[in-house]
Amino acid sequence: MSDARDLYIFGTGGHARELAWIAQEAGWCVAGFLSPAPTAGERLGAVEIFPEDNISDLPDHSCAVIGIGEPAIRRKVAERWGACVTWVTLCHPTATVARDAVLGSGTVLFPQTVVGPCVRIGQHAVVNTGASVSHDGEVGDYALLGPGVRLAGHVSVGAGAYIGCGAVTRGGHPHAPLQIGCDAVVGAGAAVVKDVSPRSRVVGVPARPMRT
């Protein structure tokens, strides 16, 4: 008999499928996906898709995680359904986390991620495959670090920020961390060497604001 606990995943796209794989690797049993309007009997692989509006039919405070990449949508799902489920922190077995690091509920660490000493990661954040957050860093709620992102020490990423694949940063200082603002977007492969303003978009090496 399996001792795996049931887990429900909001979303049915590629990100949700990856979370299902991570969950299974971490010893969870994916009991269902949750979607706004699935057709009757719809399944994703062997797993049933349930309507979000029927969440009250699930066991009380079922364990759940949000399998949606877009930070703004993740925020909306968390705010709408947070009182109905228990958000879990999901870590692939190959993720490496320092003992004094703090991970918020609903956050997901993909394979081969590294979270260093004195790092704080908020709720419902995503640290994708091979990304690393060095010592004394901070990643805000709903932020997403794409595959291969490298945050040097003393870097602060604001809530809802999106850091594209392979982007890197210089290190900050204990009393002056490098700041990537809330809801900012850093393009894939960018090299961030100075602060990024909230809600701005930067690309390139070194990273500069996108032309409009």
Question: DSSP readout, 163-182?
Answer: E-TT-EE---BTTB-EEE-T
Same domain, 105 and 171: yes
Domain end, chosen from 88, 123, 148, is at: 88
pLDDT for 2: 54
Summarize pLDDT for 177-198 with one digit per residue, the tens. 999 999 999 999 999 999 999 9
Number of domains in the chain: 2
171 is an annotated ligand-binding site residue = no
Identify the domain containing residue 65 by its residue range.
6-88
Q: How large a percentage of the chain has pLDDT more than 90?
A: 87
Domain end, chosen from 88, 104, 126, is at: 88
The answer, yes or no, to whether residue 8 has pLDDT greater than 90, is yes
Summarize pLDDT for 126-179 with one digit per residue, the tens. 999 999 999 999 999 999 999 999 999 999 999 999 999 999 999 999 999 999
Enter the pTM of the model.
Answer: 0.94
Is residue 124 situated within a structural domain? yes
Q: Which residues are catalytic?
A: 135
Strand partners, 196: 180
Is residue 71 situated within a structural domain? yes
pLDDT for 1: 39
Same domain, 80 and 148: no
Domain end, chosen from 48, 70, 88, is at: 88
Residues 151-155: contacts with CB within 8 Å, 24+ apart? 152/178, 153/116, 154/178, 155/180
Same domain, 95 and 197: yes
Same domain, 123 and 175: yes
Same domain, 62 and 113: no
pLDDT for 3: 64
Query: H-helix or E-strand containing 162?
Result: strand 162-163
Q: Which of 25-29, 36-40, 43-47, 98-102 has the lowest mean pLDDT?
A: 36-40
Q: Answer whether the bond into residue 206 is a cis peptide, omega within 30°.
A: yes
How far apart are the C-alpha atoms of 126 and 129, rounded to whole Å? 10
Confidence of residue 81 (pLDDT cuts 50, 70, 90): very high
pLDDT for 42: 86
Same domain, 93 and 11: no
Is residue 1 situated within a structural domain? no
Same domain, 75 and 106: no
List helix spans (H) across 2-158.
14-25, 71-81
